[in-house]
Chain A
Amino acid sequence: EEQLVESGGGLVQPGGSLRLSCAASGFTFSSYSVTWVRQAPGKGLKWVSYITSSSSSTIYYADSVQGRFTISRDNAKNSVYLQMNSLRAEDTAVYYCARLPSDYHGMDVWGQGTTVTVSS
C-alpha cells in the first residue's frame, strides 16, 4: 500500500521550533515530489512548501513561512522533513504531507496529518 505517515507535531511555545517528518512506503519515493499543506482549525487548506524529486531538488515556500521553515528530503530514508522555526500562533494547524507525480497530476497520496499547536 502506498502510504505517507507524518510525525513530529505537538505543543510548542511561540518562538519555538519543531521538526515534522513524513515517511513514505509502498512506492519509489525518490521519483515523486512532496509537498506540505496545512489546515488551521475550522479553516481551509493552505499550501506551505514543496520539494521536487530531482537529485538537485528545487524548493518553494509560501510567503508566510519563507525564512522560518525549511523543507528537505532524504531519499535513502524515504522521508521528507519540515523544520519549523520562530513559530507563531498562526502556524497552529494540522500539517499534511502529500506526494505529486508531477505538478499537473495533483496531490494523489496524503498522510493522515500531524497537529501543531503554538501556544504559551
Chain B
Amino acid sequence: DIQMTQSPSSLSASVGDRVTITCRTSQSINNYLNWYQQKPGKAPILLIYGASSLQSGVPSRFSGSGSGTDFTLTISSLQPEDSATYYCQQSYSTPWTFGQGTRVEI
C-alpha cells in the first residue's frame, strides 16, 4: 500500500496569511494526487486534482504543486471560510489512501 504522510497535523494562522500543507507518499504516484477540504459535519470537497489542477469553482487562492513523492497545497491568502480539515489522497493505485488530515484554524 502507498503510505501518505501529511504535515502538519494542525496549524493556526491569521486571515491573509500564506499557508502550506505538505504530503509525502511512500512511492512515486505520477501526480495522481488530489486535495480535499472538509468542514465539520459536511462531505469533503475536491480542491485540486492531478497534483496541480484547480477544480472548477474553487477559489484561485488554492494551488497545488509537486511531483514524484512530494506535494504541497498552498492557500495564498487565508480567509475565514478556509477553516477546515484538508486531506491529500492518491489515486495512482488501489488501495487508494488518504493522508491523516491537517486541521487549519483561523
Interface residues of A (CB under 8 A from B): 35, 37, 44-47, 50, 60, 62-63, 96, 98, 100, 103-108, 110-113
* Beta-carbon contact of A47 and B49 below 8 Å: no
B32 contacts across to A, CB distance below 8 A: 103-104
- A62 vs B92: C-alpha distance in the bound complex, in angstroms? 14
* Beta-carbon contact of B101 and A106 below 8 Å: no
- A47 vs B98: C-alpha distance in the bound complex, in angstroms? 8
* Beta-carbon contact of A60 and B94 below 8 Å: yes
> What distance in Å separates the Cβ of A84 from its nearest Cβ neighbour in chain B?
17
Which 4 interchain pairs have the tightest Cβ spacing? Answer: A106-B34, A106-B49, A110-B43, A47-B96
> What distance in Å separates the Cβ of A106 from its nearest Cβ neighbour in chain B?
4
B100 at interface (Cβ–Cβ under 8 A)?
yes
Closest to A64 in B: B95
* Beta-carbon contact of A108 and B55 below 8 Å: yes
B89 at interface (Cβ–Cβ under 8 A)?
yes
Interface residues of B (CB under 8 A from A): 32, 34, 36, 38, 43-46, 48-50, 55, 87, 89, 91-92, 94-101
> What distance in Å separates the Cβ of A62 from its nearest Cβ neighbour in chain B?
5
Residue with the highest number of chain B CB atoms closer than 10 Å, among A60, A100, A105, A106: A106
- Can you name 25 A-B residue pairings with CB atoms under 8 Å? A35-B96, A37-B44, A44-B99, A44-B100, A50-B94, A50-B96, A60-B95, A62-B95, A98-B43, A98-B44, A100-B91, A103-B91, A104-B32, A104-B49, A105-B49, A105-B50, A106-B34, A106-B55, A107-B44, A107-B89, A108-B46, A108-B49, A110-B44, A110-B45, A112-B43
The answer, among B43, B91, B99, for a CB contact under 8 Å with A111, is B43
